[in-house]
Amino acid sequence: MISAHCNTIFDQVISDYHRYNDIFKNIENSFPAASFDDLLYTKCWIDTAQWHMEDEIRNPDIEASDVVKWKRSIDKSNQDRTDIVEEIDSYFRQKYKDVQPKPSARLNTESPAWAIDRLSILALKIYHMREETLRTDVSEAHLNECKHKLSILLQQRVDLSTAIDELLEDIEKGDKYMKVYRQMKMYNDPELNPVLYNKK
C-alpha cells in the first residue's frame, strides 16, 4: 500500500532530521533524484524544518528582526512545499495516464498528493506528541492528556492512510479521476502582488 510506504519514509525523515536538529541543514537522502521516494523524503524534510521554524517564531522573547527572518523563511518553505506537492501529483498523473475513467467516475475533494501532504504533517504531530508523553518535568495530568491525544493522532493516521489507499485504488479502477489545479499563490508572484509590482 502506498500509504504504508509514505509513512515509513516520513518516519525515517523525521528521525534523520532530529539527529541534527538543524533547520537549515541541506537535505540528504539516498534515493535517486526526482524518484517518488526522493519526492516524499524532500516533502517531509521541508515540513519538518518548517515545523521548527513555526516553533521559533512563537518565542515570546523573539527580536523583531528575527520575526521578519523567520516569516520569510516560512514563506519560502510554504512555496517549496506547494511546489513539491505538485510534483507528487504529476507522478500520479503519469502513473494513471492510461486509465480510462468510467462514465460514473467521481472527482475527489483533494488530489492524492495533497492527502499525502496531510499524512506528512500527521507524522510530525505523532512524533512530537509522543515526545510530550516521555517528559519527566511535567505533571501526570499533562502526560495523560498527551497520551490521549497521541492515541487519537495514531487512529487518525490509520484512517487517513486507508482513505489515501482507497482513493488511489478508485483512480486505478476508473471509479474516480484526478483533476489537478496548480496553486496560484499571488502574494509570491511579483507580477500579481500589488505591493511588489507597484514598487517597479
**Closest to 171 in 3D by CA, of 119, 100, 85:** 100
**pLDDT above 90 covers what percent of the chain?**
88
Domain residue spans in the chain? Answer: 2-193
Q: What is d(CA 96, CA 9) in angstroms, rounded to the nearest whole number?
A: 22
**Three cell numbers written together for 28:** 540528504
pLDDT of residue 184: 67
**Closest to 104 in 3D by CA, of 171, 44, 174:** 174
Binned at pLDDT 50, 70 and 90, residue 148 comes out as: very high
Q: What is d(CA 118, CA 85) in angstroms, rounded to the nearest whole number?
A: 11
**Which stretches does DSSP call E strand in the chain?**
106-107, 176-177
Binned at pLDDT 50, 70 and 90, residue 198 comes out as: confident
Both ends of the chain: CA-CA distance in Å? 51
Dihedral, 20, 24, 28, 33 alpha carbons, nearest 10: 160
Q: What angle do CA 22, 45, 143 make, to 5 degrees?
A: 75
What are the pLDDT digits (tens) for 22-68? Answer: 999 999 899 999 999 999 999 999 999 999 999 999 999 999 999 99
State how far the alpha carbon of 148 is from the alpha carbons of 20, 53, 120, 134, 140, in Å: 29, 26, 21, 13, 12
What is the tally of helices (H) and strands (E) in the chain? 6, 2
Q: What is the DSSP string of 109-154?
A: SS-HHHHHHHHHHHHHHHHHHHHHHT-SSS-HHHHHHHHHHHHHHH
